[in-house]
Structure 1
Amino acid sequence: MYKSEQLAHSIRQLIESGTLNAHEKLPSLRDQVQRSGFSLMTVMNAYQELESQGLIYSKEKSGYFVAEQIALKPLEQYSVVSLNSKIEINSLVFKYLKSIQHESVVPFGSAFPDSQLLAAPKLIQIMGQLARQRQSYDQTASLPPGNLALRKLIAQRYCMQGIQTDPDDIVITSGGLDALNLSLQAVAKPGDYILLQQTVFYGAWQAAERLGLKVITIPEHPQHGFDLEAFEQVIHTYPIKVCWLMLNSHNPIGFTVSDEIKYKIAKLLHEHQIYLIEDDVYEELYYGGQKPLSMKYFDQQNLVLHCSSFSKTLGAGFRVGWVYAGKFSDHIQHLQLMSTISVNALIQNALVEFLSHHHYEKHLRTLRLSLERYKKHFYHYLKQHLPATCEIYYYPS
């Protein structure tokens, strides 16, 4: 842990314990240097980190003060399991996506971070450099399963999480949604039962409609994010073939399910031999120091197809995702050759260059801090401007 992180952690504990109260003034930079023994730069970095997390705020020529902390309200629990034998959602999604193309519409439902926080300009610069070098890329190298160097880099990131990964088990896809759709096609056929969360990315409903699946939905749990009791009830009642779940940084609610519950879900999947399509496109956008584990970490029987993407961290327009497909790798590659065929070779090579030489981890840390700061600022703004009859529920994850 860096010295600035140590100091920030100490001050954060004082704030969270109530030792430092809202709007109480913090020691000046110079006073903090004398108290802590750290350098001025270290103290400045610590204060900036706390400010980015919404824990303190600054006033010009007055110094730093403790921000008002967010009181978490408990949500009421409800449990409604529903069966949807016939799905007709595609026309509604089409109308929605057409409507947000108008400049007068603010897309509050956007699934992407602010483009100014992403690394698209750097990637475009790298692509330009590669194009000017006129390197003769072997186009066949971009065919399924995709660029080997890129798959090795992705496999390394799995290994960092304690998941031993063979690059041959990874298939590069045209974005995260392509990975999810191909995975579902690989394990399900018309008439099969699929389990979804009640609040889910609309692409899951579209995929189920396209494949002619029967959908069972379970509600979210207000404290834990995932209703394990409802899940167990459903898999004992219906012949579920596959689940499509988002358990880390859930879209749109925002919760992250605990490792304990993930372990129990994995155990039930193994007992009933149910496949899981894991939508983990926000896996890198967590708050705090520890990256949440994926369901793939708990998978002992190759039942989990883990899908993710660079769209939420580097740039949406590049459309590069992947699936850790395991034993379904060959099947998914065959399906891919009949649809999107492959991902652009230049983009894949640019990603290899960026991930290898351009401090991806540093970019991710900055991105996470910015998103956490925006979230807290937005909460305080809503609290200030919404009428008293409105209640705001805040997920810390």
Structure 2
Amino acid sequence: MYKSEQLAQHLRRLIENGSWPVHTRLPSLREQAEISGFSLMTVMNAYQDLEAQGLIYSKEKSGYFVAENAKTQIPQSATIVSLNPKIEINSLVFKYLKSIQSKDIVPFGSAFPDHHLLTPSKLLQVVSQMARDQKSYDQTTNLPPGNLALRKIIAQRYCMQGIPTDADDIVITSGGLDALNLSLQALTRPGDYILLQQTTFYGAWQAAERLGLKVITLPEHAKYGFDLEAFEQVIQHYPIKVCWFMLNAQNPIGFTVSDEIKYKIAKLLHEHKIYLIEDDVYEELFYGMHKPLSMKYFDRGNLVLHCSSFSKTLGAGFRVGWVYAGKYSEQIQHLQLMSTISANALIQNALVEFVSSHHYEKHLRLLRRRLEKNKKRFAQYLKQHLGQCCEIYNFPSGYFLWIKLPLHISSLELYQKLIIKHISLAPSPLFNVLETNQHYIRLNCSFEWTSRIQDALDQFIQSILNFP
């Protein structure tokens, strides 16, 4: 436990047992440092944690005071996390991504599907043809908000899902993460409260840390994926400015939230005037005939900024994303011109040609079938060999399995043990900053079954069964 957490727990007990009544002024940062023996930074982090939990509040030039609702607690399931310099999620993610770059590594830890399933030959033909045409490189027509023809095609796809959309609502970005980051930056200011799922894509943690935001986390519901009751209580208790949720083929766990729950989430967002940044980059990787609805479908009052990308269906080489920005379109464009400027002009033009044809839908259908087949085989093999000691979460979409390890096994230690053997996997500290939730891994199961894949899986299985 960090020193700031120890101090925060001690101060919390003083508040809860009545030693410090409501509106009592806390010792100043310097006074608390002298009393406790901790550094000023540690004291500041502890005070910020207590403030994020609603136990204390600050007055400019006056200090910190005990809040009126200090004894009103969020249910235990709604764990609260305040990002601070001690968490260092960016450093962890950087080291992890650097460690899995080698082509010699079996990429069970990759966030992308097997590249052999992506980049259809027809798309490569389109790129090759356009590469010989100088007009395809004209960046001026592809600057923010992006290629008009591509925006029209994306808008048409929204309309086909029952979401009225105009090309002016869409801003093309340099991938899904760029769309998410720009949206969060447009909607927040340092010190704002945002709500994340407790276990979520590490890009959300990185963005919150970079922008200096206060983070509240929402636990997953064991049955439904999304804990609606905890969500309602959190937004009633805290001044949440923005939510960042992934509700379709959620990364890393894999669940898809039902349309009924999505409708109720949208209703609560509307009642409390809270914005939602919807991370929906896996929206096309569903199984079966029916594509799950996005939160944008249920949006009331233009509170949802829907973000998606072509990179999970066409590969990392086609890292072009977009955000349904609506009234925030111009603001996001301004931010874009100060950072990534625009997505690759040649790729935008190639996507116009490819996505507007029947080839894209044919590719998506084939991709879904192959992902479903590959994931099923992985799940059966792992359940056969690890079913007695591990809990395997297998949901009907995407290409990830989420695996709960025996409690004596640290997912980070398991990753470190296997990366030496050139096998990668994604440990739960990338997705959840709580020390009590570090016994899970995310496994990419998009790969065709080969002797190399089976051998790597066998090593993974033996590392768990023989873990010291």
- Normalised by the length of structure 2, the TM-score is 0.66
State the Cα deviation string for residues 245-266 of structure 1 (Å, max 9, x = none): 0000001111000000000000
Report how far residue 134 of structure 1 moved. 3.8
User: Residue 122 of structure 2 contacts residue 359 of structure 2 at CA under 8 Å; is this kept in 1?
Assistant: no
C-alpha displacement of 1:383: 2.0
Q: CA deviation at 1:109?
A: 2.7
Output the CA distance in 2 between the equivalents of 1:324 and 1:390: 40
Tell me which residue corresponds to 2:263. Answer: 263
Which letter maps to 1:339? S
Indicate conservation of the 8 Å contact 1:266/1:295, yes or no: yes
Shift of 1:358: 4.7
**Contact map agreement 2:170 2:325 (CA 8 A) in 1:** yes
1:382 maps to a residue whose letter is: L
Give me the whole-angstrom Cα distance separating, in 2, the residues matched to 1:240 and 1:311: 30
Q: Which residue of 1 aligns with 2:80?
A: 82
1:41-52 equivalences under 5 Å are none
Distance in 2, matches of 1:128 and 1:376, equals 35
Contact 1:89–1:206, Cα closer than 8 Å, also in 2: yes
The separation in 2 between residues aligned to 1:299 and 1:223, in whole angstroms, is: 24
| SS of equivalent to 2:203 | helix
Match of 1:161 in 2: 161
User: Does the 8 Å CA contact 1:99/1:105 hold for their aligned counterparts?
Assistant: no
Length, aligned pairs only: 320
In 1, Cα distance between the equivalents of 2:155 and 2:378?
A: 36
Map 1:114-129 onto structure 2 (within 5 A).
114-119=114-119, 121-129=121-129
CA separation in 2, counterparts of 1:82 and 1:218? Answer: 8
Unaligned runs of 5+ in 2: 1-75, 398-468
Name the CA distance, whole Å, in 1 between partners of 2:330 and 2:287: 36
In structure 2, the residue corresponding to 1:366 is in which secondary structure? helix
Cα distance change, pair 160–267 in 1 and its aligned pair in 2 (3 A): same
4+ residue stretches of structure 1 with deviation over 4 A? none
Structure 2 residue aligned with 1:202: 202
- Which one-letter code corresponds to 2:281 in the other structure? V
Q: Cα 1:342–1:392, aligned 2, differ >3 Å: closer, same or farther?
A: closer
| Aligned partner letter, 2:81 | L
Is 1:341 the counterpart of 2:341? The answer is yes
Q: Find the aligned partners of 1:234 and 1:268 in 2 and give their Cα distance.
A: 11
Distance 1:136-1:123 versus aligned 2 partners, 3 A rule? closer
Name the SS of the counterpart of 2:107 in structure 1: coil
Work out which structure has the larger RCO, using CA pairs closer than 8 Å and 6 or more positions apart in sequence: 1
Q: Partners of 1:387 and 1:297 in 2: how far apart?
A: 38
- Once the two structures are superposed, residues 35-87 of structure 1 have per-residue CA deviations (whole angstroms, 9 ceiling, x without a partner) of xxxxxxxxxxxxxxxxxxxxxxxxxxxxxxxxxxxxxxxxxxx8242131425
The alpha carbon displacement at 1:104 in A equals: 5.2
Please give the secondary structure, in 2, of the residue aligned with 1:312. Answer: helix
Structure 1 residue 121: deviation in Å? 4.3
> How far 1:395 sits from its partner (Å)?
2.2
For residue 308 of structure 1, what is the aligned residue in structure 2?
A: 308
Kept after mapping to 2: 8 A contact 1:191/1:213: yes
Matched-pair contact (CA < 8 Å) for 1:173–1:343: yes
* Cα separation, partners in 2 of 1:104 and 1:316, compared to 1, 3 Å: closer
- Cα contact 2:280–2:294 (8 A) shared by 1: yes
* Partner residue, 2:231: 231
3-state secondary structure, aligned to 1:149: helix
Q: Which amino acid aligns with 1:214?
A: K
1:136 deviates by 6.0
Deviates more, 1:170-179 or 1:379-388: 379-388
Taking only aligned residues, the RMSD between alpha carbons, in angstroms, comes to: 1.6
1:392 aligned counterpart, secondary structure: strand
Counterparts of 1:240 and 1:259, CA distance in 2: 23
2:359 aligned with 1:359: yes
Provide closer, same or farther for how the CA distance between residues 354 and 220 of structure 1 changes in structure 2, counting only shifts above 3 A.
same
CA separation of 1:85/1:144 partners in 2, compared to 1, >3 Å: closer, same or farther? same
The answer (yes or no) to whether the contact 1:276–1:303 under 8 Å persists in 2 is yes
Does the CA contact (< 8 Å) of 1:81 and 1:230 recur in 2?
no
Letter in 2 for 1:255: F
Residues 389, 326 of structure 1: CA spacing in aligned structure 2 closer, same or farther, 3 A cutoff? Answer: same
- Tell me how far apart the structure 2 counterparts of residues 204 and 214 of structure 1 sit (CA, whole Å): 12
